Structure 1
């Protein structure tokens, strides 16, 4: 039997434990439930943590760019940014080049919260990748990228 058929939902040989999207969803769900508890203990939720982590890479960034990186729709991201602004974690200002673009930057309180979030989540990540060889990790990242790229032509 073709190894791919057992993961094909259109095939009678389909098995859920061979379906990559089930396995990915199961992994992300478990990971999120673990880090959610750690983040809530320091006053953060997962969407706010995503924003802090993205801004930790580069700040300021446009709200649309943050939404895309966080895989959250723009209207939801706008509400998240408004909450984070009210909490003093980020600042949001119109871009000088294009007033339609809202630039979001880490505020000092956001930088402190990001540092705390990194400490809270780093041990989970270390546990998650324990036992993986560097080349296995690189292969995993490459394969996930290829799967994503394969879907790109089908995206709306």
Structure 2
């Protein structure tokens, strides 16, 4: 199959890899939102806890960047998560203008629940795919992201 680009004659949206990537991402997000809601959590909390599970503590600006969360949204979420005992925040010793976020024991418990939810959705998403398929898919995604990061993408 020859992939046609938007604007090409005979372009078909359903055959567009980026359209399908976007639809798949939206479907994953919707399924995660439903599954997380069932355990009393939302997407932003899941992202924050997941990031802190990988790197604890983390700087607020890093959580925003890696979690693709607007700073205003993240600030409100961190206030709520701190109130709920999931995280603590404190000024960084080397530069008091930067805030570090720490996951608490209660936050780790919530993360474990979210990880089990994510594992279930993930297993459903990759059902029937081989390890080789997933390896190739990851290579393609990384390559496309590198291409897009080269920018700019304005018509000449």
Tell whether the structures are fold-level matches, with TM greater than 0.5: yes
Q: Distance in 2 between matches of 1:147 and 1:121?
A: 25
* Structure 1 stretches lacking a partner, 5+ long: none
The residue number in structure 2 matching 1:3 is 2
What's the CA shift for 1:66? Answer: 1.0
Helix, strand or coil: the match of 1:99? Answer: strand
The residue number in structure 1 matching 2:124 is 127
Q: 2:103 aligns with which of 99, 103, 106?
A: 106
Taking structure 2 as the reference length, what is the TM-score of the superposition?
A: 0.90
Structure number with higher relative contact order (C-alpha < 8 Å, ≥ 6 residues apart): 2
What is the number of residues matched between the two proteins?
A: 153
Q: 1:153 aligns with which of 130, 150, 154?
A: 150
* Structure 2 stretches lacking a partner, 5+ long: none
The residue number in structure 2 matching 1:55 is 52
Q: 2:36 aligns with which of 34, 39, 53?
A: 39
Helix, strand or coil: the match of 1:100? Answer: strand
Q: CA RMSD in A?
A: 1.8
The residue number in structure 1 matching 2:74 is 77
Please list the CA deviations of residues 89-118 of structure 1 after superposition, one character each: whole Å capped at 9, or x if unmatched: 111111111112111111111111001111
Taking structure 1 as the reference length, what is the TM-score of the superposition?
A: 0.90
Answer yes or no: is 1:25 the counterpart of 2:25.
no
Structure 1 pair 3/146, CA: closer, same or farther in 2 (3 Å)? same
Helix, strand or coil: the match of 2:88? Answer: strand
